[in-house]
Structure 1
């Protein structure tokens, strides 16, 4: 059992019955492919306690319910047989209802059970309209009665209960908020999402929480682009029964807005949040009519059904993966470069209220998941839904005034993000000026990130000075994180009339300057080393060899590097590879990308060691991508590699006698041993390196 923290004690004391230990979801899930909110709904019924005996009994009860009633696809026939033999049986399944116009009846389809055309009463549909769009997880009683009339379906719906909270005490929620500090409340919300707040900085927590704003703010348009594996879509698929996650490739006008042939309203009419997964992809096919109607809806909250104009409150979220580093995108295009071409349009982008910098979000790791207490997902989902009609956008105006440069659309974006975060963090309306300022700056930054990228695309838009004035009349400017990190690429990069970004030589960036971890002698050698052909031999036990001095200078300026080394399998060998990658990253432009192809031998006949090798390589690949190095690994069979070498597209070939494995292993682990950190203090094994210059112009 996890150790209960003081925060957990406080949470269970003030929110008894509506919180649950977040690690319990994994304990009960097994191989049931159901959203977290379904499991937490059940845990909230049986295990919402801090008493260990009650929790264990609740876990067993939920496991039994899942075992008896959750329908696994591969057991559908067994469940159908159970219904037939018993005449009636309760199931947990995703139910979708359609109208059969021919027979004028509503009919349900059960996703996992695989039965269709189950008659549903109109009263049931009226109570639960979401059954008509996208489907809802439900607990249902299904009855079986067979007749000789082949037109009649033997399945009958006895009862249906969507897995959603029916009521809650909002006043109690607000009152209890007053018992927590802002830091404690922020940690409670992060734990409710399922993460361990101790693994996140305050800024990282705000980034996680802004993902919740679409649930608490009407008609909020949010985009998040970043590397894979950062949990961009998790909240929209698992967190709330009021959100719908669909694949970017499945978006159509009838599905999203309205089907003009039958007048049926789409997803935006029934769901609080519609999120588009895998939205990025420059070459993805898009429907021009969809783009146009989406732009109108995002701006005006309305769409047309024939001659009739309809309104809706659904927030729109767009998440997708980036394939380049931030400096690369800033140098060569913009931070929206990954979007489909039809959406890479200033009119569409200007409708976005906030851009979450996905590159600042850590890849999700096992230790990042929470074992502490958080709100039962269904409870917090209903709390957020109840606040959608509240407007908190003016709570800063007593203390701060936005820049007069900021346009109405920019101001709307800032206001909606600010309002959403204030409702999340300060529902009791008790925030200090410093806390209000923190939220305001974060809201301004997210809209500024949108607008600054639009300025690169549309030269007709005017520059905007993003910032605010405090009550004393002092001006505070706001900058984005990437603007601070890469000013040489971020600023003065507006596109010319022909759509091209002007070529400018960047100021001296961190590529060469960022070598503070290396001794001064090594820094000098990287720049001044004269590149020569020939053989260089190193004796056993000799010191002074470094990748940055003896190898990296020959790799500078390369965009394609091929490394052949059969032995990248143990920890120290993988570490050597990562140190070579670090050396390459130091001498390349931060906005450039280098592809490093590695040919190495797969560990033969040892499953455990082979798994470790793969784990090392995957970790290196992920971390190298952050530095702008794209690692492409090819595992080959032993005996197919005969030499160890490095070849570049600039014409150098380096023959490595021992590959990268040139250092002797340290006698023991010693945190104070300089050789652990600096290669030049390590003893080497005897080896030789041959440098071959295949193009005469190199080095001259």
Structure 2
């Protein structure tokens, strides 16, 4: 049996493997990009073409592509791809081939490698020693000058191109490896004046699309709001001491920007953080990650339940004051911080039962810590990554853009909105800081010269206000003492007209978002159980005949069976299945044949019925057990289809789990309320849909024709109260 994670992992691999030999058609924007940024841009789909089995960040591959394939000439691009592939084949160290590379170095005496290098100080011998991650060689002496020029070698490591020599010695204490040269993979420098000059040739929309393509995303797959959300992930690279949180479903690319985009940022697991690693080691006095990186991102932050309270306290001070104290010393740093995590509940569920920081460890749900966050990216608005969402157009070589953004960190655009707008005076200083820093970062990205129209400034300011309001409103849910001074998140234009700003979820779920504070957990209102009406179905042991009206909601559900004949119409899941599923919080569907598109449509229809019948703030867990296609060409289609159905279902609070089991034969549905529905034909009861796109049966099941005769049995199985109410 294959579990959900394995299935989705396979889907990702298959989706990533989708390539085309034909070069994509160059758009008018691509032509303009190459005209104004020749030599600094690369076609983004080339990274996938050259990656092969090289497990390296995208910026490493784009560095090489920028050397050999930064052109719009197809012949040059193909020659460059061949060169990069040859370089990777010859010099990249694959971890499982490290012995082969070591033998090659020994045989030749000297060999060039591409590997991640980390340096430590050997206090006993008073020397710096390098460790090569994939080559699995450590203790290599590296000179102090090289370490001083590249301090990141000491914290986190750097991808480098190195020449390594081999010299054997009879002295067992001497490492035979000698570092002849080391070059970090990064551009030598950028002409920022040319960057400004070329920016003037692009409209705002074109420039945003160029930035989207530069981070590897297809702008045609995103609306304006989606593009702003994607670009907000870049603010920590362009704004000093910027603190951002993004919580959302899995598979939306939250960590991609921080792991692949820039050599100036580092992504670490939330569980691997210590005070010594992040800030300063008291024993050695060495500054940690915040002293060397522009952005420190914490992956799987919400899943980290082991929390060091001392770390929380030191971090709290740093997030607020850009400094931290250890012992008797006070240190300052400029690193921005991004906290990334997955959500397991829908937005209305969180609004009804808790707050939007519900997934964070308890130690980080401290209002004082949360108040240091400048912006909350609504990760639930980001669509799960699909193959068509990746860009095939031209964008900046990642390293080039990373250096531009680093150069912009010393500038401050936080007051640029004041030419047109004024913030409400009730907005606290800390709230204003969050708004202004987000606005400043977006301005540097979209309008790097600092010039923008009133409407362009308005769009960025409203987005910045919304992100800080999302933080503050959640804090007010957690800490009742902060509700005494009302805050109006609004701004006035030059005419003196005030404009209120609301978060999107506030507009979508006003009854949940604005409910009385007394109804919060711990208050008098609480979050009571939903009263669900359950319509009855079969009666007298056999059930109503097809076409009978749905029984009264007051009538009890009954055991029995229903028979159906081929060619019948008027059958739908709403009358056949929903009455027995409504109100259940756990449902298991066993059907070996969810493979073809129309079978997937049937499943999606049932899940959408469940979503429509439940309360917005409730969630249902649905497990699908089905069999896997064995032919490769059909297997990929099936897995991608199941992934798409899961994404759509999860988004509305019907959390779909998928298990692939080739041993199943029965077709049934079971609920935690004790009902088992034995399905003679499974969910696939109708004939395949016609080719007529206007066939009413495509949207209404009642107009579909039953394919072959079948029987459905309804069986009641006693359950314990614990099982019935299990979530």
Distance in 2 of aligned mates of 1:523 and 1:459: 51
Shift of 1:534: 4.3
Q: Which deviations, in whole Å up to 9, do the C-alpha atoms of 1:381-417 show, x marking residues without a partner? A: 0000000010000000111111111101100000000
Correspondence for 1:597 among 609, 623, 626: 623
Give the TM-score of the pair, scaled to structure 2: 0.89
Cross-structure match for 1:140: 162
SS at match of 2:416: coil
Shift of 1:560: 2.0
Cross-structure match for 1:67: 89
Contact 1:522 1:549 in 2 (8 A): no
Change (3 A) 1:539 1:82: closer
Cross-structure match for 1:477: 500
SS at match of 1:586: helix
Contact 1:455 1:494 in 2 (8 A): no
Q: Which deviations, in whole Å up to 9, do the C-alpha atoms of 1:614-640 show, x marking residues without a partner? A: 4443433332211211223444454xx
Contact 2:520 2:527 in 1 (8 A): no
Correspondence for 1:54 among 70, 76, 83: 76
Distance in 1 of aligned mates of 2:306 and 2:672: 34
Change (3 A) 1:372 1:594: same
Indicate yes or no: 2:611 matched with 1:585. Answer: yes
Distance in 1 of aligned mates of 2:548 and 2:115: 63
SS at match of 2:458: helix
Contact 1:522 1:548 in 2 (8 A): no
Cross-structure match for 1:243: 265
Cross-structure match for 1:622: 647
Correspondence for 1:173 among 195, 198, 202: 195
Distance in 1 of aligned mates of 2:552 and 2:224: 38
The 5 A counterparts of 1:386-535 are: 386-462=407-483, 463-492=486-515, 494=517, 499=522, 502-503=525-526, 534-535=560-561
Cross-structure match for 2:130: 108
Shift of 1:420: 0.2
Distance in 2 of aligned mates of 1:224 and 1:476: 26
Contact 1:109 1:115 in 2 (8 A): yes
Shift of 1:590: 1.3
Change (3 A) 1:37 1:563: closer
Distance in 2 of aligned mates of 1:263 and 1:559: 54
Distance in 2 of aligned mates of 1:115 and 1:290: 32
Q: Which runs of 5+ in 1 are unaligned?
A: 513-520
Shift of 1:434: 0.1
Cross-structure match for 2:374: 353
Contact 2:354 2:520 in 1 (8 A): no
Q: Which deviations, in whole Å up to 9, do the C-alpha atoms of 1:436-482 show, x marking residues without a partner? A: 00000000010011111111111111342111111111111111111
Shift of 1:124: 1.1
Indicate yes or no: 2:615 matched with 1:558. Answer: no
Moved more, 120-129 or 293-302: 120-129
Indicate yes or no: 2:359 matched with 1:338. Answer: yes
Distance in 1 of aligned mates of 2:147 and 2:623: 57
Distance in 1 of aligned mates of 2:61 and 2:626: 44
Shift of 1:243: 0.2
Shift of 1:98: 1.0
**What is the aligned-residue RMSD (CA, Å)?**
2.7
Indicate yes or no: 2:252 matched with 1:227. Answer: no
Change (3 A) 1:64 1:376: same
Contact 2:215 2:257 in 1 (8 A): yes
Moved more, 55-64 or 237-246: 55-64
Q: Which runs of 5+ in 2 are unaligned?
A: 1-22, 536-546, 720-727
Shift of 1:688: 3.5
Distance in 2 of aligned mates of 1:454 and 1:501: 19
Contact 1:117 1:153 in 2 (8 A): yes
Shift of 1:663: 1.2
Moved more, 338-347 or 409-418: 338-347
SS at match of 1:48: coil
Distance in 1 of aligned mates of 2:481 and 2:100: 65
Change (3 A) 1:528 1:436: farther
Cross-structure match for 1:515: none
Change (3 A) 1:693 1:475: same
Cross-structure match for 2:276: 254
Change (3 A) 1:681 1:388: same
Q: Which deviations, in whole Å up to 9, do the C-alpha atoms of 1:659-688 show, x marking residues without a partner? A: 32221223x311111111211111124334
Cross-structure match for 2:683: 660
SS at match of 2:330: strand
Shift of 1:533: 5.1
Shift of 1:526: 10
Change (3 A) 1:51 1:407: same
Give the TM-score of the pair, scaled to structure 1: 0.92
Cross-structure match for 1:632: 657
Cross-structure match for 2:401: 380
Cross-structure match for 1:86: 108
Change (3 A) 1:89 1:556: same
Correspondence for 2:341 among 286, 310, 320: 320
Shift of 1:506: 11
Change (3 A) 1:560 1:262: same
Indicate yes or no: 2:709 matched with 1:686. Answer: yes
Shift of 1:226: 0.5
Moved more, 297-306 or 72-81: 72-81
Change (3 A) 1:471 1:505: farther
Cross-structure match for 1:188: 210
Moved more, 652-661 or 573-582: 652-661
Change (3 A) 1:658 1:437: same
Indicate yes or no: 2:221 matched with 1:199. Answer: yes
Change (3 A) 1:597 1:500: farther
Contact 2:245 2:377 in 1 (8 A): yes
Distance in 2 of aligned mates of 1:269 and 1:589: 48
Change (3 A) 1:363 1:602: closer
Distance in 1 of aligned mates of 2:666 and 2:27: 56
Distance in 2 of aligned mates of 1:360 and 1:210: 13
SS at match of 1:258: coil
Change (3 A) 1:142 1:677: same
Shift of 1:611: 5.4
Shift of 1:600: 3.9
Indicate yes or no: 2:658 matched with 1:650. Answer: no
Shift of 1:508: 12
Shift of 1:503: 2.5
Contact 2:50 2:85 in 1 (8 A): yes
Change (3 A) 1:501 1:54: farther
Number of equivalenced pairs: 682
